[in-house]
Amino acid sequence: MDVLTGLLTTAFLAGGVLALAALGEVLAERVGVVNLGVEGLMALGAVTGIATVTAVPSPMLGFLAALAVGALFGMVFALATVFLRANQVLCGLALTLTGTGLAATIGRNYSGMPAPVTFEPVQVPLLSSIPIIGPAFFSQNILVYLIYLVLPIFFSYLMFSTRHGLNMRAVGENPAAADAAGIPVNLFRFSYVTIGSALGAGAGAYLTLAFVPSWSDGVVAGRGWIAVALVIFAGYRPIMATLSGLLFGLITALGFIGQARGWPVAPAFLSMLPYLGTVAFIIVPVLAWQKMRRAMAAPAALAQPYFRDMR
Amino acid sequence: MQLGSLRLQRLPSAHPGIAFAARAAAILIALLVAGVGVAISGMNPFELGGRVISASFGSSFGIEDLCVLVIPLILTGLAVAVGQQIGIWNIGAEGQFYAGAFAASAVGLFVPGPQWMVLILMFGAGFVGGMVWILVPTLARAYANVNELITTLLLNFVATLLVYYVSTGPWRDRSGMANSATPPLSAEVPSFWGIVHWGFPIAIGLAILVAAALAYSRWGYEVRLVGSNPSAARYVGIPVRKHLITVMLLSGGIAGLAGMLEIAGTVHRLQGGISNSFGYLGIMVAVLARGSPIGVIFSGALMAFILNSGIILQTQGLTTSVVLAITGFILFLTAIGDELSYYRVTRERA
């Protein structure tokens, strides 16, 4: 009981990073842009968060500042990939290298220092007294509710139940047809890549202001790449992306518990779990669920720049 | 697109001259931005630049440093470039580098025997180590069409953790004070000029060999055909899957060899962080060379200079992460320049 609560508490907390970043990537990929810069955006968000709260002791301000920085870098990335139609893979890798390098350079002054203020847990009245799930989920910091409830439900509704969402998916599936129907393809792509990038950087701030909570070089540790992989695993669906983030939170939590309880496995091997798990989770479904392939398929125009004058 | 009487026309293939010029411009702009950044932080960019030039080229020690740095960069660049020939993005060269270093160290630490024999076994182990590390992504790509970008990349973290674990744990040097590295390896790649070891000609020779195989052999022709049009290649009966597997394994093996040469020629022991992000910088090397194995030799040299500048400037309070940031910026500008090199400006006739 106690172990289970502890496991779930850590799982929700750890999974939030991946859930938020994966949700952002779902938005970008649904409109047909693959953003491989998530890792760099998370690093930038993480350092922005810690730098902001060091100056002004407000975790919310730190989170918002990270969103702004993410949006800014997202716009530069979108400008290059959507309007100038540069190679998305290269620009994404560039964003990862630049973001990671820049964050490490800026973050040197904050290295190893615990965050002066963090997001504190909020007890939800009544719900927090439910056994197991109450302490595990309803006694978390406010971002956890945003990440697991508000954002996925909102974006899922937007994407699958509104006209706007239909347009959005059309842009990712067949930009030429969308364009012919009068949908502003590039504007859609630009906007959602920007929003997605902001969420990616927000995930970084979550890391340094709620989960770890401190900055050190390499604190992101590939979580951005795991998030990109989760999008495939989640079949490009917001709610599924959130749930798979939680699943990976669970894997991370298992590693923590293993270390805390002194399992006879070296910590390094427990740390490998999320990466090996991700590799397994993007390979196994392809082999196991052949019938699901169509439903889980990537948007048809993913990673393809759109040229109106060349069909 | 129309601008007055001028018309912007997108050509089906890029103009190599413009693509080359775009790379030069990208590097110049990035250095300019870096210089402005340095100036803003209160240092004199010209003085730092002068210091870098004199430290790199002013003495034979500087040039030796560059030659040692260029070895892993040529090889990881070559690993990525080989993949690009068939349309594969191997961004796991960092992990394969560590895996190669790990396997070669295992031989160097535990296999007794004469130097030359251990050394040959280390070469083999390094290559095979890299191949093993890319095996799962390769099979997943070849048989289930799983995107190799993410699988190769994720394994980087696993390899880094593995090397960190063995060099601080079971293989740790228990004799001395250094407790985060293995004891010195029993065999090493001999040097021929100062600290420059035989890895230097091996790396260049391998790049030339791969270039020749791609340009003149039947295998190379078929690989390039698959790379430029996979469905056409399939229709004419080229074994696409087989080529995909061999090229990916070759790519991983070359990156593994880079790791082996780094520990057997330069560092002489296995420790965490032996790679100065060589695997990631290899992507940059390959892109600058436009995927050409011969070009990799030159872009590798350029990248070695940039990385070496970062290392020299460490004493000035800069870190190698600045190099990573600048590299990313160059990569970004190059990607834009590459797309622009597809365009031609023509004058509309009335």
Task: Give the model confidence (pLDDT) of B319-328 as tens digits.
Answer: 778 888 888 9
ipTM: 0.91
Say if residue B1's pLDDT is above 60.
Answer: no
Nearest to B108 by CA among B252, B262, B253, B270: B270
Q: Do the chains contact at B164 and A268, CB–CB below 8 Å?
A: yes
Asked if A225 lies within 8 A of B324 by C-beta distance, the reply is no
The torsion angles phi and psi of B3, rounded to 5 degrees, stand at: -130, 95
- Please check whether residue B169 lies inside any domain of the structure: yes
Looking at residue B32, its amino acid is L
B199 domain-assigned? yes
Structural domain of B71? 44-318
- pLDDT at res. A311: 43
CA B243 distance to own-chain centroid: 22
Query: Is A95 in contact with B156 (Cβ distance < 8 A)?
Result: no
Rg (alpha carbons) of chain A, rounded to whole number: 19
Structure token pair of residue B61:
């020690």
Q: Cβ of A97 and B327 within 8 Å? A: yes
| B342 occurs within a structural domain | no
At B202, which CATH number?
A: 1.10.3470
Closest-CA residue to B126 (of B72, B170, B80): B72
Assess if residue B307 is contained within a domain: yes
pLDDT over 90 percentage in chain A: 60
Is residue B226 assigned to a domain? Answer: yes
The number of C-alpha atoms within 13 Å of B249 and in the hemisphere containing its C-beta is 11
Other CB atoms within 10 A of residue B115 CB: 11
Considering A8-17, A289-298, B207-216, B227-236, the range whose residues carry the highest mean pLDDT is B207-216
Among B132, B158, B143, B150, CA closest to A282? B150
For residue B146, give the nearest of A226, A282, A305 by CB distance: A282
List all residues 6 or more positions away from B237 whose beta carbon is below 8 Å from its beta carbon: none
Kind plus residue range of the DSSP H or E element containing B3: strand B2-3
Residue A247's identity, in one-letter code, is L
Q: Is B8 helix (H, G, I), strand (E, B) or coil?
A: strand
**pLDDT band with cut points at 50, 70 and 90 for residue B119:** very high
Tell me the domains of chain A and their CATH numbers: 2-293 (1.10.3470)
Sheet with B6-10, strands from edge to edge, namely: B2-3, B6-10, B343-347
- Tell whether B69 is covered by a domain: yes
Chain B interface mutation, best of A93, A228, A231, A270, highest count of B Cβ atoms under 10 Å: A93
Average pLDDT over residues B264-276: 87
Residue A276 has pLDDT above 70, yes or no: yes
Q: Which residue has the higher pLDDT, B202 or B175?
A: B202
With an 8 Å Cβ cutoff, is B335 touching chain A? yes
Instruction: Give me the number of domains chain B comprises.
Output: 1
- Which residues in A lie closer than 8 A to residue B334 (C-beta atoms)? 90
Residue B329 is assigned to a structural domain of this protein = no
- Is the pLDDT higher at A203 or at A115? A203
Under 8 Å CB pairs connecting chains A and B tally to 135
Confidence of residue B178 (pLDDT cuts 50, 70, 90): low
Residues of chain B neighbouring A217 (CB-CB closer than 8 A): 321
Long-range Cβ contacts of B15-20 (<8 Å, 24+ apart)? B15/B341, B15/B342, B15/B344, B16/B290, B16/B341, B18/B337, B18/B340, B18/B341, B19/B290, B19/B337, B19/B338, B19/B341
Which residues in chain A are closer than 8 Å to B153, comparing Cβ atoms? 222, 225
Contact list in A for residue B155 (CB cut-off 8 A) is: 275, 279
Q: What is the structure's pLDDT at B118?
A: 93
Taking the C-alpha atoms of residue B122 and residue B93, their distance in angstroms, rounded to an integer, is 19
Separation between Cα atoms, residue B49 and residue B66, nearest integer Å: 16
A154-173 confidence digits (pLDDT tens): 999 999 999 999 999 999 99
In a domain, B340, yes or no: no
Pairing relationship of beta strands B2-3 and B343-347 according to DSSP bridges: unpaired
Cα of B275 to nearest chain A Cα, Å: 15
